[in-house]
């Protein structure tokens, strides 16, 4: 793509991930042995890092505690190339924490303690709204309190930004007025089910779930389907994009890699089909590595991956 990319700003959570690698996930009441590593994570931070590794200069708005974890998380963002001037450190608060268990096939279970993330308010959104540049692309995820999301989405008509919304982890209560501001929603199968009540098991059910979200007023829906790829729907078109076959090591940040990759492509004005294909390449490479932010591939790696398959030209 030619020309300067659109300003890109992410609104979301930032956590320190404690990741335990095990042979198989435990059942209820079972103890398992494994290897523990800590990584910088959090959905908003992961997505911003993904875009930064792809050559963008994204800004992240999040909240950190004034603890050791907060210092580690902010340094990781700076090292990745994320602009951190919108980040607030909350005195006396703990940073967000995630406990993740990953098995030998890349499957995982995750528990999250929100920490400073949960203090995000409508006033905080208004405080940083001036940082949203003209023609910006805004990316938000559902880990933030609903009141903050409602305020951010309500700003869209006045500021004229384009909005990508990753509705994860799913929270109930977001109003239909807020949903009507969403340009692109990016749920996975489980999130699509939680939002619509439609179990997504194939392309037919993915289309039905996407239609349920379109009925809320969303302009376009991209249901990510893991090894089955992704399904796109808007008022005019429906299409399926197959996945890139890879051996998954850790799927923890697959959705964040996809959303960050999609944002990077759309910020460079890529057509939606190409943007989805690009995002799927980012996610495919991510799941072959351990961790969250540490697993996000560089733009050079993604370009080489696509070139080796002779499918998509570099952005």
CA-closest candidate to residue 263, choices 50, 85, 11, 42: 50
pLDDT at res. 310: 64
Token readout for 252 is: 């923890």
Segment 263-267 shows an average pLDDT of 98
Does the predicted model carry a pTM greater than 0.75?
A: yes
Question: Which residue shows structure tokens 């309190």?
Answer: 145
Question: Residue 164 above 60 pLDDT?
Answer: yes
Question: For the chain, what percent of residues have pLDDT higher than 70?
Answer: 97
Integer Cα distance of 70 and 129 in angstroms: 23
- CATH topology classification for 8-13+41-86+116-309: 3.40.1190
pLDDT tens-digit series, residues 90-147: 999 999 998 889 888 778 888 888 899 999 999 999 999 988 988 999 999 999 999 9
Average pLDDT across the chain, whole number: 93
Integer Cα distance of 303 and 307 in angstroms: 6
Question: For the chain, what percent of residues have pLDDT higher than 90?
Answer: 76
Burial (CB count <10 Å: 0-12, 13-18, 19+), residue 172: exposed
Q: What positions carry a catalytic annotation? A: 256
Residue 280: phi and psi, rounded to 5, are: -70, -35
Integer Cα distance of 30 and 112 in angstroms: 20
Question: Residue 2 above 60 pLDDT?
Answer: no
Question: Residue 282 above 70 pLDDT?
Answer: yes
- In the chain, DSSP finds a helix count (H) and a strand count (E) of 11, 14
pLDDT at res. 315: 65
237 dihedral zone (left: phi>0; alpha: psi -120 to 50; beta)? beta
CA-closest candidate to residue 5, choices 149, 162, 204, 113: 162
Domain ranges of the chain: 8-13+41-86+116-309
């Amino acid at each position: 793509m030619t020309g300067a990319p659109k300003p890109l700003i992410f609104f979301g959570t930032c956590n320190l991930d404690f990741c335990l690698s095990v042979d198989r996930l435990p059942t209820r009441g079972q103890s398992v042995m494994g290897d523990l590593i800590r990584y910088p994570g959090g959905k908003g931070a992961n997505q911003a890092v993904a875009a930064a590794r792809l050559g963008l200069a994204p800004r992240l708005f999040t909240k950190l505690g004034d603890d050791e974890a907060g210092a580690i998380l902010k340094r990781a963002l700076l090292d990745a190339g994320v602009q951190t001037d919108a980040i607030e450190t909350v005195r006396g608060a703990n940073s967000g924490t995630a406990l993740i268990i990953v098995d030998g096939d890349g499957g995982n279970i995750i528990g999250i303690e929100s920490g400073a993330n949960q203090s995000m308010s409508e006033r905080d959104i208004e405080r940083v709204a001036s940082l949203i540049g003209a023609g910006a692309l805004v990316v938000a995820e559902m880990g933030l309190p609903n009141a903050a999301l409602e305020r951010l989405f309500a700003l869209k008509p006045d500021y004229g930004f384009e909005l990508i919304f990753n509705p994860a982890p799913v929270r109930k209560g977001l109003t239909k007025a807020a949903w009507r501001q969403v340009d692109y929603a990016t749920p996975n199968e489980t999130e699509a089910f939680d939002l619509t009540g439609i179990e997504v098991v194939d392309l037919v059910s993915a289309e039905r779930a996407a239609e349920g979200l379109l009925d809320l007023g969303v302009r376009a829906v991209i249901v990510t389907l893991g090894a089955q790829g992704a399904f796109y729907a808007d008022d005019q078109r429906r299409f399926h994009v197959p996945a890139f076959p890879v051996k998954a090591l850790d799927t923890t940040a697959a959705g964040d890699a996809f959303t960050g990759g999609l944002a990077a492509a759309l910020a460079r004005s890529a057509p939606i089909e190409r943007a989805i294909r690009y995002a799927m390449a980012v996610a495919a490479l991510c799941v072959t590595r351990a961790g969250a932010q540490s697993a996000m591939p560089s733009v050079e790696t993604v370009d080489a991956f696509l070139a080796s398959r002779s499918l998509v030209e570099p952005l």
